[in-house]
Every structure is written in structure tokens, then in C-alpha cells.
Amino acid sequence: MLTSFLTSTVGFVVVLGVLIFIHELGHFAVAKWSGVGVEKFSLGFGPKIFGVTKGETEYLVSLLPLGGYVKMTGESLEDAKDITDEERERSFTHKPLSKRVAIVSAGPIMNLVLAAILFPVIYMIGIQVPAYLDGPPLVGMVAPDDTAEEAGLKEGDLIVEIRGEPVKNFEQLFTTIAMSPEIPLPLKVNRSGEMLDMTLTPGVSKEHTGTGGFYPPMRPRVGSLVAGKPAEKAGMKPGDLILAIDGKSIKHWRELQNIVEINPEEMAFRLQRGEEYLTVRIKPEHIESDNIYRIGISPAEDTVLKRYGFFKSIDQGVGQGINMTVQLFGVLKGMIVGDYSFKTLGGPITIARVAGQAAEGGVSKLLTLMAFLSLQLGIINLFPIPVLDGGHLFFYGIEAIKGKPISERIMGISQQVGFVMLIMLMVLVTYNDIMRLFGWG
């Protein structure tokens, strides 16, 4: 538990720190280039932890690591009222509109540039992905008394459409289901050549994402063992195929999990090891944090290494960036029209947990998460919402049309509205995080 917490914390700090630094560096560099004075460059908000002053700028790290800021000379009309003529020359407010637009847009653009660099790098390094994600969405197991069984799905069914759209692979299918808890999804299913129409209403996981109640084909073969845990002590080895538990035939990894998770008693595991058949007896270990039982094994999952040369990596990286951008706007549209649930949104706790998992998965997975978040940060910051960079750019657009800046009163009201919207969003994602953390709801 302590190791997992430390990994999540370090992953969270590294990922968020890089994204914030790159974003604020964009504002800072273009402000300096434009002749604007920069008083502060801060990673984080709130009270200062430590800082150093070089020239006119104080560089500091602040307590709350959920953002950052660049404080410029004469940043607002209020700040610019009582400044000297010398300060006026270096005032943000008194710079031409083109330079103000460049300074404000530089932050999100830097995040987009970071994502554009990272995606090709990821494919040059190479990333392991589960092989089934690119495969046809063939149902390997239907969980008893779950949503898939209620919908009428059976083992061997091939899902060809969801919500009227063709399904290319498991990744597309699971993404749609994950974003749609408790929202009915029309399916078209191929069952031995017969086309069937069904409606799947995803359940809700403890992370508040949708669950389909079915799984891809996955044989119960042992991939690795945790040192010192019951399975290793009993003599189980990587590569063992689990055929039965206490005489009950096992065909899917999830069947194995379902039996072990609720069983505190010693059980007989029938194994096939090459041409040899043997039986080992294992008493599961209780995991208090999740209130389930484990024996300390993970599945032998087929993975595909995606690694390419320089030019192919650029091509794949650009394609990945475009796909993620399309998915982002698709998710935002789905939330607006009700196709996707707001319960799937995550905040700092979710980011920390995912960052920890990515850090444990290696450099490629950590960079993938960083690229994904940087892309989102860059795009969302350009939305015309007050408080965000896009809100400022929207006001500059009006200024360009009118020939004069927006009044302080309208600007102030808009900023307050934007701030309230931001607080409401933070409350929502924090609520979702807490519900996931404690498994409530």
C-alpha cells in the first residue's frame, strides 16, 4: 500500500509538474520576447514553499500543485492604473493586441506542441498493448446475473455495431461502454451468422465508469506470480494452465477470479504444465483494503509491441493525436447531449492513481499519459470560457472587432462567472474521486 501510494504521488507530481511547467513557460517566454515585465513564475497556487529571484522575476514553487501562473507587469486594467511611464513600456495591458494574443495563446500551444512531440517518441520507444484491444469484439465470457446476460449476450457472440456505429475492435467498444454507465446502448450482434438486435445498459464500476458484464477471450493461464504469496508457496509456476478448482471446470480467467475473490478456504487447483497434469492446494490471502481474497497470480496476457522507425513514428503519433482529439470532442458532445455520464469525469485523485499505474508500467505508459493529458489541457484551455486562456482570446476577438477593450465591469463579471464554473467542475470531479476512492454510490 505504501509503495503504491508513493508511486502514485511521484507519478502525479512528475506528470502534472511537467504539464504546468510547459504551459507557463509558453506564457513566460513569449511575454519576455514581447517586452512584457514578468514579476512571478509559479508552479502551483497558494502559499509559497520556496523561491528564488533572478532579475525582475521571482521563480517559486507554491503549495497547491494543481496549476501555476505567470504574473506580468500591468496584467489587468486595474494593475495598469498606477504605474510609472517606464513600467507602462513593459505593461501587458499596454502592448498591442497581437502581442497580447500571442502571450495568452502560447500556454495551450506549448501543451499541444508537447503532445505532438511525445506521441512519435512513444512509438519510437515502443509500447506494449493488450493484443485483444485491436482484435474483433468477440465475447469470451458473460458474467452471470450481470448486464450482458440481461441483454441476451452469449459466449461466442461478435458485436458488430454499438449505438448504430460499426465496431472495429475491443478498444472502441470498451471506450463507449466505459463512458456510458446506466445509459442504454443499442447493439447489433452476429451469432453464428444470425444478426440480432439487443440493448445493453452498462452497470457502474466502483470507478463510476460503465461495465458491460462480458469479457474478451482469456484462458486461465498464469503469467506471473507475486513472490511470497500463496500461489508461489504452493508450487504454481508461470505458464500453468488452470483447468479446474475443487472439481469445477475453469475456461476463463474471470471465472477464476470470481471463485478466488470470495473464498477464504483452501482449494484444490487442477493444473496443466506442458504435458504434465498436477493438483496443488492453495489457501487464498485476504486483502483488507478491497475486502477480497487473492492467491498472488496475474494472467498470461498476449501483448503487442508497437514500435516504429522515425518517419513511421511521426505518422503513427499524428494519427494517435488526431484520434484522441476526435474522441475528446466526441466525449464532450456526448456529455452535453446525455450519451455519456458526468460520473466518468476524474480529478486529482484519479489522475494520481492513473499516473501511479502508468509509472509502474514503464516510461512509455507514463509518457502516453503525459501526452494524453497535455493534449487535453491544450485543447480545453482554448475553449472560450472566462478564466481559461480561450476566454481571454475570445475577449480579444471582440476587442479586435470593436476597436477597444471590453469594459472592466463586463470583464470582472465574466471572470467571476468563469471562476464559479471552474469551482463547480472541481467540486464535481472531487466528488467523483471520493466516490471511487471509497467505492460508494
Positions annotated as catalytic residues are: 24
Q: Which amino acid is at 86?
A: E
Evaluate whether 147 touches 200 at the Cβ level (below 8 Å).
yes
Beta-bridge partner residues of 64: 45
Contact status, residue 11 vs residue 352, Cβ threshold 8 Å:
yes
C-alpha span between 345 and 262 (Å, rounded): 30
> Which residue from 80, 85, 95 is spatially nearest to 30, judged by alpha carbons?
95
Task: In whole angstroms, give the CA distance from residue 338 to residue 177.
Answer: 14
Distance, in Å, from the CA atom of 263 to the CA atom of 51, rounded to the nearest integer, reads 55
Q: Which pairs from 52-61 meet CB under 8 Å and 24+ separation? A: none
Q: What residues contact 82, with CB distance under 8 A and at least 6 apart?
A: none
Q: How far apart are alpha carbons 53 and 55 in whole angstroms? A: 6
Element housing 369 (H / E): helix 363-381
- The span from the CA of 116 to the CA of 21, in Å, is 17
